[in-house]
Structure 1
Amino acid sequence: MNFALILFLLLVITAVLWAADRFYARKRRAPDEPAPWWVEYGASFFPVILIVFVLRSFLVEPFKIPSGSMIPTLLVGDFILVNKWTYGIRLPVINQKIIPVGDPQRGDVMVFRFPSDPSVDYIKRVVGLPGDRVEYLNKRLSINGEAVALRAEGEFLHTDRLYYSPRYVEQLGKQEHAVLIEDDAPPYVSQVVDFPFRENCTYTSAGVRCVVPQDHYFVMGDNRDGSYDSRSWGFVPDENIVGRAFFIWFNFNDMKRIGSFH
């Protein structure tokens, strides 16, 4: 279900009820005559829904992390906030950009509508910008012919299954972030679907090479061997972008996770 569309329809309905009561029905009722319950409730909910709609559409939107593709940066059950205006002001529901503000940068954690099913929101890290040549070969990332800095830094404990993964620190852009790379997992991409600009990618037993089309982005999960991402299903078009994730505001299992993850 498209929650943005549902919220928009509720806003329209309550706005009509509020306006009808404020400018028409109230003047026709006797001073001591109460408004019909459906008018009273509808009109009273209008300001609340308006505030929620504006905040969610143009400022920040909450999301919950449903999978482990962004471990160790984001864990299953993290509730995060997404900045809706950092990549441009967009019209709600249709997601059309009307005011350019900025563009995604390498290293950003971005929420977007899954290209194959726009009703589903995905979250990944931006790796390749329009025009970039991205290579992920033998589990090492290169952009435009230059290897991305990577260093080993201990291990990460998966508490749900009680096993450890090698933990590395990678630098994309100006900020460092942690990634998990299973050294004993195969380097090739095991699941590849057909996608727009599929001809821009070359798959080998060592991994994948892609040239990012204009107005598109190449994204990957920080849990490199546990992420279904651009390596498998292609590029994220600009019109699918929702915003930049920047803050963990709650986690039922670990209150210490609250805060910025950059």
Structure 2
Amino acid sequence: TGEPARGDVMVFFPPNDSRYFIKRVIGLPGDHVVYRNHQLIINGQLIETTQTAQEPEDRPLKFLAEEKLDSATATVQWMQARDSLTNQLIIWAGPEGEWDVPQGHYLMMGDNRGNSSDGRVWGFVPEENIVGKAVAVWMHWESWSDVPSFSRNKWIE
């Protein structure tokens, strides 16, 4: 598949885990990545994000946005939650911070930014842990107790 590019959706093994994961490439080797307040900054450049939808029929409330990553456009989402200290409604951004991606590694993040176990939690993915590029969405489960749906089948661009 060649070298992963920013915005590619990749299949890989995270550090210290034998399960396959599928996440989006955010940080390339040598990048400085900042994620704060629902915004990505890569090498000092704010990544354009445009809110596209708010889905009030969903519980909890879901916010969708388009994020432009080099030649790829990702649909990312955040969910409404309650702050554990103040009990105030917030839009949970997920783990925030700054990372310097080492050579030979990649920073992967899920598109469900507020509810994703990804590189913000377990660190960088070594190049040798990458299996390949994901090319399609096949089945989707709303929850583990549901029957899988094929309604979201599509090619990943």
TM-score, normalised by the number of residues in structure 1: 0.50
1:108 Cα offset (Å): 0.6
Matched, 1:236 2:125: yes
* 2:40 paired residue number: 141
Match of 1:177 among 68, 74, 77: 74
Residue identity (%): 41
Distance 1:145 1:260, change over 3 A: same
Report if aligned partners of 2:61, 2:79 keep a CA contact under 8 Å in 1. Answer: no
Partner of 1:257 in structure 2?
152
User: Displacement, 1:151?
Assistant: 0.3
| Change over 3 Å in CA distance of 1:121–1:188 after alignment to 2 | closer
Structure having the higher Rg = 1
Aligned equivalents of 2:149, 2:79: Cα separation in 1: 25
Identify the residue that residue 128 of structure 1 maps to in structure 2: 27
Q: Do the aligned partners of residues 241 and 156 (structure 1) sit closer, same or farther apart at CA in structure 2, a change above 3 Å counting?
A: farther
**What is the aligned length?**
142
Change in Cα spacing, 1:158 to 1:261, as seen in structure 2 (3 Å) is: farther
Counterpart mapping for 1:1-262 below 5 A: 86=1, 102-117=2-17, 119-156=18-55, 162-182=59-79, 184-185=90-91, 189=95, 207-250=96-139, 253-262=148-157
* SS in structure 1 of the partner of residue 113 of structure 2: coil
Contact 1:188–1:208, Cα closer than 8 Å, also in 2: no
RMSD value, Cα: 2.1
Opposite residue 11 of structure 2, the aligned amino acid is V
Which residue does the alignment assign to 2:86?
A: none
Bigger drift between 212-221 and 163-172 goes to 163-172
User: Corresponding residue for 2:84?
Assistant: none
d(CA) in 1 for partners of 2:35 and 2:28? 15
Whole-Å separation in 2 of the counterparts to 1:256 and 1:105: 28
Can you list the C-alpha shifts for 1:180-231, whole angstroms capped at 9, x where unaligned? Answer: 1246145573xxxxxxxxxxxxxxxxx3111100000001000001001111
SS in 2 for 1:123: strand
Q: Give ranges in structure 1 of 5+ residues lacking alignment.
A: 1-85, 87-101, 190-206
The alpha-carbon distance between structure 1 residues 123 and 255, as it changes in their structure 2 partners (threshold 3 A), is closer
CA distance in 2, matches of 1:114, 1:244: 15
Give 1 or 2: higher helix fraction. 1
Which is bigger in relative contact order (C-alpha 8 A, separation at least 6)? 2
Cα deviation 1:17-54 (Å, max 9, x = unaligned): xxxxxxxxxxxxxxxxxxxxxxxxxxxxxxxxxxxxxx
Distance 1:211 1:177, change over 3 A: same
Q: TM-score, normalised by structure 2?
A: 0.81
CA contact (8 A) 1:124 1:219 kept: yes
Measure how far apart 1:255 and its partner are.
Answer: 3.0
